[in-house]
Structure 1
Amino acid sequence: MGHTVEWPVRLYLVEEDGRTTARVALHTGTTTLTGQGTARCSPDDRDVPEIGDELAAGRALRDLAGQLLRVADKDLEGVGAVPPRRERRVAYGWSSAMA
């Protein structure tokens, strides 16, 4: 038996003073998860808003993905299954850029 659902996702981007903030909201029908991400333009770099949008959105989506996987792990534990072991990956670039 097939199963199809649609989970709407909304992505909001705000750019102000060389800093881009992203918020992504996922609605599953029973819950809403929200991811956050930011990016800032280095004073030495040319301001290209699209790059800030891409970085902030990517970081917000990565935050959302992590939350969704943690929810799935809890649900697996709730039905007696062992959740998969997840690798922690180190982010590329400057660590302060991830803030």
Structure 2
Amino acid sequence: MARTLEWKVRLYLFEEEGTTKARMTVDTGATVLTGRGAARCNPCDADVPEIGDELAAGRAMDDLAHQFLSAAERDIAGVERAAAG
């Protein structure tokens, strides 16, 4: 069975007082998940905003990855329970 889906992904980056925050949403059509991440510039380091963006975005993606994996594990357990019952 072939199928094609489109999930909409949005990434929002905010910077305030040396901290970059990221919020990433994934809309699957059935649900919306939101991941969050942050990065703080060490006062001893050069202020390179792109690095903060990359770190915060990567951490938001990591947060979403964990949420997707947890959802899949719950769904698998539900299917297994239904098959056993």
TM-score (norm 1): 0.80
1:14 counterpart letter in structure 2: F
Q: Secondary structure at the match of 2:74?
A: helix
Q: Whose strand proportion is higher, 1 or 2?
A: 2
Q: Which runs of 5+ in 1 are unaligned?
A: 82-99
2:46 counterpart letter in structure 1: R
Find out whether 1:18 has 2:18 as its counterpart: yes
Q: Which runs of 5+ in 2 are unaligned?
A: none
Q: Whose helix proportion is higher, 1 or 2?
A: 2
Runs of 4 or more above 3 Å deviation: none
| Residue 17 of structure 1, CA deviation | 1.1
2:10 counterpart letter in structure 1: R
Aligned sequence identity (%) = 62
Task: Please tell me the root mean square deviation across aligned C-alpha atoms, in Å.
Answer: 0.9
CA deviation vs aligned residue, 1:6-25 (integer Å, no higher than 9, x gap): 00100000011110000000
